[in-house]
Structure 1
Amino acid sequence: MIKNYFKIAFRNLKKNKGFTAINIVGLAIGMAAAMLIMLWVSSQLNFDNTYPKSDLIYSVGSMEQSDKGPDVWFSTPKPLYEVVKNDISEVKQSSRFNNAGGFLFTYDDKKIIAKKGAFVDSAFLQIFELPLLKGNPKTALVEPTDIVLTKDYAMTIFGSTDVIGKSIKVDSTEVLKVSAILDEIPSNSRFAEMNFFVPWTWMEKINFSDKNWGNSSVNLFVEVYPDANLDAVQNKFKTITQKHSDLKTENFLKQIGDNYLYNDYKNGIAVGGRIDMVKIFMIIAGFILLIACINFMNLSTAQSERRAKEVGIRKVVGANKSSLISQFLSESILLSIISGLLALVIVFLLLSPYSDLVGRKLSLPISNFYFWLSFIGFILLTGLFAGSYPAFFLSSFQPIKVLKGKFVQFQQKISPRKILVVTQFAIAVIMIISTLVIRKQIDHAQNRDAGFNKENLIYISESGDIKKNIELIKNELLSRGIATSVSRTMSPMTERWSGWNGFSWEGKDPNNIINFNRQSADDKVVETLGLRLISGRDFDLKKYPTDSMSAIINESAAKIMNLENPLGTQFVDGDDKYTIIGVIKDFIQESPFRTVTPTVIEGANMWVNTLNIKFNPKLATQDALSKTEQVFKEYNPNYPFDYQFLDEAYAKKFEETQKTGKLATIFAGLTIFISCLGLFGLAAYMAESRTKEIGVRKVLGASIFSVTKMLSKEFIVLISISCLIGFPIAYWAMNKYISDFSYRSEINWEIFVITAVLALLITVLTVSYQSIKAAMANPVDSLREE
């Protein structure tokens, strides 16, 4: 019986090639889009959740009251590690994690500036169980001279992975031995981009570590015992920093996977974050698949007259309703199988560029039995859903009426088919508006005044002999006309390396906790970076040697410090006292979608690590770079010339939102395309079913325009209704989306006008081809049988 169902189904699909092709293509694209989205969703949900013991691994968070309520961050002071080991018995093992980079790795005549590495404790590899190609995770990070490399980095340095025991010279003074080689780290791990790991004991040996409880700068991960009482552990962590320091910081544990997805906090409670975008794209996947299924429903029911007599004869010869339903469902399942296989091919072809787009290596787990089980279930469910309404609709025909030729489809004002079309295009309208709002929000932030001049500006990390020869390097760059100004800072101006809430000044309420960003600089920082002075002056150590203990603050800091005349005011930072000599306009150091944090730029007494060079605009950029490289080869000969353009670093702040915008645009486009595909099929069937009516109208003098208008009118009305339904839903959803941004654009009426015009234009273009084709047909051909 089932074999017979599929045989008849195949014949029916073959008989109506045009509609079958539209159904297969639409459903295949919808299924492929849904699969691609779900691959991305899966990678997000599994981020940091694929470690063998991920359910036992926690990141240690910190929370402290501020002027804006509880402030949450996931870094800790370095000495907390030892206290946790000694005081909390439920913790099996733990490890700190601190980024390491800027070292010069030398092997034979090969020199590489080491980037994307980390200092970790000896238990790190045992906690996370990263895939090892060679080496022992228990001993790989025990000795201070150990280094663990990824296989790709081992190939870069040595040209081989068979390098256990080989030595790497570091900064011409230290020697590290390769103790283990890591296999490829999964792309959904926070460590995916790491190239090497070195022991914390080596960090202490080279004096990069400290015991300062006030310096909250490293990540701390703990593995708890399986039988540990988590509530009891949380209570112990809550006061652990307060017991060992003068800080008021509370600590807590967050499961490592949840730490990635739930990264937005309000009043000290996780209220969302990346998980919100995951949910949105899951809804988008459902919408796209729903639209593809609606196409199938509409085209199947539109052909009801052709199938009416078939249903009547089957019922007369004894077929019951359930057998007819089975027949029609078998057709939809067969079509779903063909579409599913085509969708799988599409996914395979698009997987590589799609992975590049989302910035994560995605793959289909074709060797996994559960993947194929899920894929088969996905096809069957899609087929059953898409075919459910047509099956019940077609099987309900009364045989007496259809066999007497009295079966007529009345032009109902409200019909299931019209409701489906309206639903389909309401979703498309919502997608269009969402894409336009996201794009506008990104453009709004990109056009925001950064507060400094990013053009012709590079920065260099001070490694090797740069610090020793800094004055010589500065003089060479300026005297040779390569640069117009040079200044050193703690960090690149696009990165926040230090924050502090312990500043005090005259008139400050001691109970008022205010978080500041802390930067530092030497001479000419305002001039070099193009910062804008509101009052006061720039740092000038030659003219004012005391500027090493001076400070420049931004306008947000001046406002929150409640200083009417900030110039000359002193504030205390730990044991140091700084005098304010200048106030600058706010500049964006963190997210361009957030309000600017009060910022203090302290003088050269504070440590500096980044050299900023403002090129002479009279020189071509390539010429300036070439001459700058010559200077650094002379004064820092053992290190490659490694630099970064400030405007490129600033552009990276938009990468994640731009990826979201591109994804939304692509899937909105697919939604529109699938909707138009169904509309095209419906228009073709409507024109075909009204051939005789069109012939009569033309004989009576109707013009091509009037016939085209008649055939297009119904669709235009339906799309207009879709806009009226979609607009308020889209406004509510997008208003909620942009409310998460402190610096946001407005949703204005132009977006809705553009969407309405676009939707109607797409409808007219889609329908008009079939309408004009029908209107231009010779009426003699359509009326010949009469």
Structure 2
Amino acid sequence: MLRNYLKIAFRNLTRHKGYSFINIGGLAVGMAVAMLIGLWMYDELSFNKNFQNYDRIVQVMQHITQNEKKETQGINPYLLGPEIRAHYGDDFTYVLQSSQSHKLLAHGDKRFIKSGRYFEPQVTDMLSLKMLEGTRAGLKEPYSILLSESVAKTYFGEESALDKTLRMDDKTDLKVTGVYADMPINSSFRDLGYLLSWDLYLIENQWIKELEDPWRPNFTETYAQLTEQADLKKVSAKIKDVKLNKVDASRKKLKPEVFLHPMSKWHLYAKFDNGINVGGRIEYVWLFGVIGVFVLLLACINFMNLSTARSEKRAREVGIRKAVGSVRSQLIVQFFSESLLVVAFAGALSILLMVLTLPFFNELADKSISVPWPNPVFWLSIVGFSLLTGLIAGSYPALYLSSFKPLTVLKGIFRVGRFATVPRKVLVVLQFTVSIALIIGTIMVFRQIQYAKDRPVGYERDGLITIFNNQETQDNFEAITNELESKNTVAGIAQASAPPTDVWSTSTGFSWRGKDPSLAVDLPNNSVSHDYGKTVGWQFAEGRDFSRAFPTDSSAIILNKAAAKFMGFGDKAVGEIIYDDGEPCRVIGVIEDMVVQSPYEPVRAAVYHLADGWSSIVVLKLNSDKGISTALAEVKSVFTKYSPTVPYEHHFVSDDYAQKFGDEERIGKLASFFAILAIFISCLGLFGLASFVAEQRTKEIGVRKVLGASVASLWRLLSKDFVLLVLIALLIAAPVAWYFLNGWLQKYTYRTELSWWIFAAAGAGALAITLLTVSFQAVKAALMNPVKSLRSE
């Protein structure tokens, strides 16, 4: 029986090739989109799950309260880990201190700057590293190093790396005591190229042990693993005041509150608002999950609409089958078998489409997703997904077509009735409601990104580059400056404690005249050289820049406008005295606010002072009179001359700033990709319906042409119903999109507005696409010779 059903289904497909192509093509695209989104969601939801102790690994973080608002940060005092270990050790298997590291590692003539971490030795067990060489005990000696497999191959090729020596920063020899397998791409430690001993970190940074108040600065990260019996919420509550009990009275005002953030939430639930975890990327996971369901539903709607639209052509078949004894359940199985056959073809085509588009999709999403071909769960999911799609797509046609009464059909008086088209119209409206909402959402995402990009940043990004400082460039900075200026390569060169696009240091030790004793302070504190303002293009609202003509500038500071306002000085800050840990500093200038961190948030109050020692960053403004490539080549030549042992590398500040929009831009590109496919699927169905309507009204069109109807009037006749449906869809999509987009925009302090023209543009675009889709069939029908359409009369 099933074989017979499939044979009939196959004959119907081959007999009506156009409709079959639309059905199979639409379903294939919808299924491919759903599969891609499914792979993306799986990649996101499986983040960090490669670690055996995934459910018990946590990061120790803290909230600090500044003037009634909580801020959350992942760095802590270096004594926090030992303090927790000493007093709450029964709840933890490990409590480990860590710090990020970017080091020059050299072996022979192979010299590269690599990223890794300083960590306490037990990290190898906590992260369950897969050791390819050596053992997990490799970090017990301070001058040891563990390498990832890829880094080991970079230096030693296929040779064993064990017991070989790497030289770090041209001054410290490290013994390779182990090689571990590379971390997966979907891991928080994906860039863990090497591991260094925490003891080495303390040896290299002797200033740590000389700190007057070791509980004041936050500069290390703390990771831990809970015991199997420990309850995360209870342990988090236990350690809440561990830092509060150690800081002095001035820091107690910040109300530091220590808590545990589980690894399961690091990636998807990384966003905190006023001390409350409010989600993060999980919002995008569910958003694209919903989009995937809707795009697949659009494809299923095409199948439903085209199957029911052709109901009159299949009514006689249903009548004869019922007359010869077929019961309704058999007919339902028959029609479901047809839909499953269509889905089977579409499923095979969708897998091909998925494989072909996966590289493009990975580039859009910044992923390295691969299809898990050997995984039986993947194939079971594909089969189950296809069956579900077949059942959804075939449900309405099967129930509708099997309900025809044989007597009415075989007497030749069967008509579908004027209300029979209502479900089809509802489904078309649903299709375009989804499509228009996606278009509006895509426009708004890019509009918000552009709005933030157009925000005045308070300095000149064009031609501005940064280079990480090292001891050689620090020692030869004056010579480097003179040579670059003599060659007219740069318009400015300076040093700073951080790049213009980031904050690397804050201070709580500021006070000033009239400061409220209860006011909590934690301001970005930037050290810069004399020419920093000239190099980045500071814009002064008041006062002057640092100058070598004034020796007293060594104790001077410059505020941004946000700091002047925060301190209550308004537009008369110049001449005020600010105390930095008790040391008086005179304000000599106020600059326009520089957008340093998030371009979507208000600028933080910040302080700038002259550097009196080491600076981490060299900032250069390339001379616009020279070509960028020429200037960069000259900069590289000079830096390589004075720092031959360190690989040269520069970063454009404009690129660093652009990275701040990375997540939003990726989401926008993905949303536009899905919106285009949604429109394509909807138009595919619309094309099929338009061709069927034109075919159904062939004789009517012939009569109208004989009576003098023009091609334009016939085009209007066949198009107006579809245009009306799209207009109804716009009326539904607009308020729905407004509601969700308005909620999304509230996440951003600095945000654009929902303008009426966005909805109008989306509606006009949908109408234009609809008319283009329908017009082909409408004009084709209108141009048909009426003699041919009326000859059977």
TM-score, normalised relative to structure 1: 0.97
Which residue of 2 is the match for residue 222 of structure 1? 224
Which residue of 2 is the match for residue 70 of structure 1? 70
Which residue of 1 is the match for residue 775 of structure 2? 768
Which residue of 2 is the match for residue 634 of structure 1? 641
User: How far did 1:607 drift?
Assistant: 5.0
SS of the equivalent of 1:215 reads: coil
2:161 aligned with 1:153, yes or no? no
Per-residue CA deviations over 1:79-137 (Å, capped at 9, x if unaligned) read 11111221112110122232111x3222112222x132221111112111244333322
Q: 2:567 aligns with which of 561, 569, 573?
A: 561
**Residue type of the partner of 2:457?**
A
* Percent of residue pairs identical: 40
Which residue of 2 is the match for residue 609 of structure 1? 616
User: How far did 1:510 drift?
Assistant: 1.8
SS of the equivalent of 2:776 reads: helix
**Conserved? CA contact 2:104–2:114, under 8 Å:** no
**Residue type of the partner of 2:543?**
G
| In structure 2, C-alpha distance between the alignment counterparts of 1:473 and 1:263, rounded to whole Å | 42
| 742-751 or 505-514, which deviates more | 505-514
Which residue of 1 is the match for residue 473 of structure 2? 466
Change in 2 beyond 3 A, CA 1:720/1:413: farther
User: How far did 1:729 drift?
Assistant: 0.5
2:136 aligned with 1:111, yes or no? no
**Residue type of the partner of 1:148?**
L
Which residue of 1 is the match for residue 549 of structure 2? 543
SS of the equivalent of 2:55 reads: helix
User: How far did 1:341 drift?
Assistant: 1.6
Q: 1:166 aligns with which of 164, 167, 181?
A: 164
Q: How does 1:704-715 map to 2 (within 5 A)?
A: 704-715=711-722
Change in 2 beyond 3 A, CA 1:761/1:424: same
**Conserved? CA contact 1:151–1:161, under 8 Å:** no
User: How far did 1:745 drift?
Assistant: 0.9
**Conserved? CA contact 1:469–1:635, under 8 Å:** yes
SS of the equivalent of 1:244 reads: coil
| In structure 2, C-alpha distance between the alignment counterparts of 1:417 and 1:518, rounded to whole Å | 64
Which residue of 1 is the match for residue 514 of structure 2? 507
User: How far did 1:264 drift?
Assistant: 2.4
Change in 2 beyond 3 A, CA 1:464/1:608: closer
**Conserved? CA contact 1:520–1:606, under 8 Å:** no
Change in 2 beyond 3 A, CA 1:500/1:341: farther
| In structure 2, C-alpha distance between the alignment counterparts of 1:312 and 1:269, rounded to whole Å | 64
2:455 aligned with 1:448, yes or no? yes
**Conserved? CA contact 1:704–1:776, under 8 Å:** yes
User: How far did 1:153 drift?
Assistant: 1.9
| In structure 1, C-alpha distance between the alignment counterparts of 2:449 and 2:631, rounded to whole Å | 32
| In structure 2, C-alpha distance between the alignment counterparts of 1:293 and 1:548, rounded to whole Å | 72
2:681 aligned with 1:679, yes or no? no
**Conserved? CA contact 1:525–1:538, under 8 Å:** no
| In structure 1, C-alpha distance between the alignment counterparts of 2:506 and 2:9, rounded to whole Å | 68
| In structure 1, C-alpha distance between the alignment counterparts of 2:131 and 2:14, rounded to whole Å | 54
Alignment RMSD (CA, Å) = 1.7
| In structure 2, C-alpha distance between the alignment counterparts of 1:529 and 1:604, rounded to whole Å | 16
Which structure 2 residue ranges, 5 or more long, are not aligned?
none
| In structure 1, C-alpha distance between the alignment counterparts of 2:52 and 2:403, rounded to whole Å | 54
SS of the equivalent of 1:746 reads: coil
Which residue of 2 is the match for residue 232 of structure 1? 234
| In structure 1, C-alpha distance between the alignment counterparts of 2:565 and 2:159, rounded to whole Å | 57
Per-residue CA deviations over 1:400-425 (Å, capped at 9, x if unaligned) read 11111111123339711110000110
| 65-74 or 291-300, which deviates more | 65-74
**Residue type of the partner of 2:565?**
K
User: How far did 1:68 drift?
Assistant: 4.9
Change in 2 beyond 3 A, CA 1:394/1:414: closer
**Residue type of the partner of 2:564?**
A
2:663 aligned with 1:656, yes or no? yes
**Conserved? CA contact 1:444–1:744, under 8 Å:** yes
| In structure 2, C-alpha distance between the alignment counterparts of 1:577 and 1:226, rounded to whole Å | 53
SS of the equivalent of 1:296 reads: helix
Per-residue CA deviations over 1:576-616 (Å, capped at 9, x if unaligned) read 44322110001111111111111111221475211111222
| 462-471 or 747-756, which deviates more | 462-471
Number of residue-to-residue matches in the alignment = 782
| 69-78 or 501-510, which deviates more | 501-510
2:473 aligned with 1:481, yes or no? no
| In structure 1, C-alpha distance between the alignment counterparts of 2:618 and 2:552, rounded to whole Å | 21
| In structure 2, C-alpha distance between the alignment counterparts of 1:391 and 1:332, rounded to whole Å | 9
SS of the equivalent of 1:260 reads: coil
**Residue type of the partner of 1:206?**
E
User: How far did 1:177 drift?
Assistant: 1.7
2:42 aligned with 1:42, yes or no? yes
Q: How does 1:285-296 map to 2 (within 5 A)?
A: 285-296=292-303
Which residue of 1 is the match for residue 99 of structure 2? 98
Which residue of 2 is the match for residue 578 of structure 1? 585
| In structure 1, C-alpha distance between the alignment counterparts of 2:205 and 2:731, rounded to whole Å | 66
Q: How does 1:490-505 map to 2 (within 5 A)?
A: 490-505=497-512
**Conserved? CA contact 1:142–1:199, under 8 Å:** yes
| 767-776 or 513-522, which deviates more | 513-522
**Conserved? CA contact 1:520–1:607, under 8 Å:** no
Which residue of 2 is the match for residue 368 of structure 1? 375
| 617-626 or 426-435, which deviates more | 617-626
**Residue type of the partner of 2:232?**
L
**Conserved? CA contact 1:488–1:611, under 8 Å:** yes
Q: 1:529 aligns with which of 531, 536, 547?
A: 536
Which residue of 2 is the match for residue 13 of structure 1? 13
Which residue of 2 is the match for residue 122 of structure 1? 121
Which residue of 1 is the match for residue 133 of structure 2? 134
SS of the equivalent of 1:526 reads: helix
Which structure 1 residue ranges, 5 or more long, are not aligned?
none
**Conserved? CA contact 1:549–1:604, under 8 Å:** no
Which residue of 2 is the match for residue 180 of structure 1? 178
| In structure 1, C-alpha distance between the alignment counterparts of 2:164 and 2:317, rounded to whole Å | 79
SS of the equivalent of 1:467 reads: helix
**Conserved? CA contact 1:203–1:209, under 8 Å:** no
Which residue of 1 is the match for residue 751 of structure 2? 744
**Conserved? CA contact 1:94–1:124, under 8 Å:** no
User: How far did 1:7 drift?
Assistant: 2.2
| 632-641 or 307-316, which deviates more | 632-641
| In structure 2, C-alpha distance between the alignment counterparts of 1:414 and 1:517, rounded to whole Å | 65
User: How far did 1:527 drift?
Assistant: 0.9
SS of the equivalent of 1:614 reads: strand
Q: 1:265 aligns with which of 261, 264, 272?
A: 272
User: How far did 1:725 drift?
Assistant: 0.7
